[in-house]
């Protein structure tokens, strides 16, 4: 079986959450509201082994386990456009766009044999999947591999930082392990959205004050955008809390 796909630059996929590499997150910190997404992946899933490699494992009941992926994200409500999406539907950072965007619709964060559903556009997307589009996936194998391989390589490199960070967090905050265990046992799973600032001390090359100066106005802007919409209450709460964290960091600057 083969899948065809061609991007038409409709911009319809440029809404909501965007997973990022650490470098991409830092490189766009003046634009994206940065958080960390923690996602349990139950044993037996197609991408479980990869999730173990990229993350860590936690014990569940009945001797089962779940892998936990940790990744930076641009945390934008599902019905809001990416901060880099221009009014004409094109990308304002096209030449420096994140690896996740370059690999779309394929994902380096999923096993190669677990890509089929990603190649089925949503109802209102204008992707070209007709016979005029190139074959991108055949017999569970990716045909054009460069962007996929680049994203996978970066995810593996990030894992060297994120795995020990996550282990430290689990040891330091017992309730975090419990919350992740509960999520993993839900029929439809779920994820946790936590502060990005907790990761920064593990990034010795990052000037936390310069990062705070970039993130504070971004968080303040998104807090304002979501302040009067009840359906965005969770996002508003997180933006406001994050703005407070970055402000406290700046207040402590030498």
Task: Name the pLDDT band for 250 (thresholds 50, 70, 90).
Answer: very high
Checking if the pLDDT of 62 tops 90, the result is no
**pLDDT tens per residue across span 146-196:** 999 999 999 999 999 999 999 999 999 999 999 999 999 998 889 999 999
Return the pLDDT at 1: 87
Between 63 and 153, the higher pLDDT residue: 153
Q: What is the pTM of this model?
A: 0.94
Checking if the pLDDT of 86 tops 90, the result is yes
Angle at which helices 146-172 and 174-184 cross, to 10°: 130
Mean pLDDT of 95-114: 95
Mean pLDDT rounded to a whole number for the chain: 95
Task: Name the pLDDT band for 63 (thresholds 50, 70, 90).
Answer: confident
Mean pLDDT of 7-11: 91
Helix (H), strand (E), coil (C) string for the chain? CEEECECCCCCCCCECCEECCHHHHHHCCCCCCEEEEEEEEECCCCCHHHHHHHCEEEECHHHCEEEEEEEEEECCCCCCECCCECCCCCECCHHHCCHHHHHCCCCCCCCCCCCHHHHCCCCCCCCECCCCCCEEEECCEECCCHHHHHHHHHHHHHHHHHHHHHHHHHHHCHHHHHHHHHHHCCCCCCCEEEECCCCHHHCCCCCHHHHHHHHHHHHHHHHHHCCCCHHHHHHHHHHHHHHHHHHHHHHCCC
Task: Name the pLDDT band for 89 (thresholds 50, 70, 90).
Answer: confident
Instruction: Give the list of residues 6+ apart from residue 76 with CB closer than 8 angstroms, or none.
Output: 15, 16, 17, 18, 32, 33, 82, 83, 222
Q: Cis ω on the peptide bond leading into residue 65 (within 30° of 0)?
A: no
């Amino acid at each position: 079986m083969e899948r065809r796909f061609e991007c038409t630059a409709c911009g319809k996929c440029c809404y909501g959450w965007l997973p990022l590499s650490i470098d991409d997150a830092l490189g766009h910190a003046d634009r994206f509201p940065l958080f960390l997404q923690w996602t349990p992946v139950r044993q037996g899933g197609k991408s479980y082994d990869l999730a173990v490699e990229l993350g860590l494992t936690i014990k569940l009941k009945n001797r089962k386990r779940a892998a936990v992926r940790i990744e930076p994200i641009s945390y934008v409500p599902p019905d809001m456009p990416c901060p880099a999406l221009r009014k004409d539907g094109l990308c304002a950072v096209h030449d420096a766009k994140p690896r996740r965007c370059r690999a779309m619709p394929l994902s380096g964060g999923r096993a190669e044999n677990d890509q089929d559903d990603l190649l089925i556009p949503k109802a209102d997307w204008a992707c070209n999947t007709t016979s005029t589009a190139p074959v991108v996936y055949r017999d569970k194998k990716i045909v054009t591999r460069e962007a996929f391989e680049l994203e996978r390589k970066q995810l593996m490199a990030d894992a060297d930082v994120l795995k020990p960070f996550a282990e430290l967090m689990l040891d330091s905050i017992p309730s975090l392990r419990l919350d992740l265990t509960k999520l993993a046992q839900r029929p439809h799973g779920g994820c946790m959205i936590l502060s990005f600032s907790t990761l920064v001390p593990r990034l010795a090359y990052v000037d936390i004050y310069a990062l705070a100066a970039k993130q504070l106005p971004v968080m303040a802007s998104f807090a304002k955008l979501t302040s009067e919409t009840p359906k965005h209450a969770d996002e508003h709460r997180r933006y406001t809390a994050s703005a407070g964290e970055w402000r406290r960091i700046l207040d402590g600057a030498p």
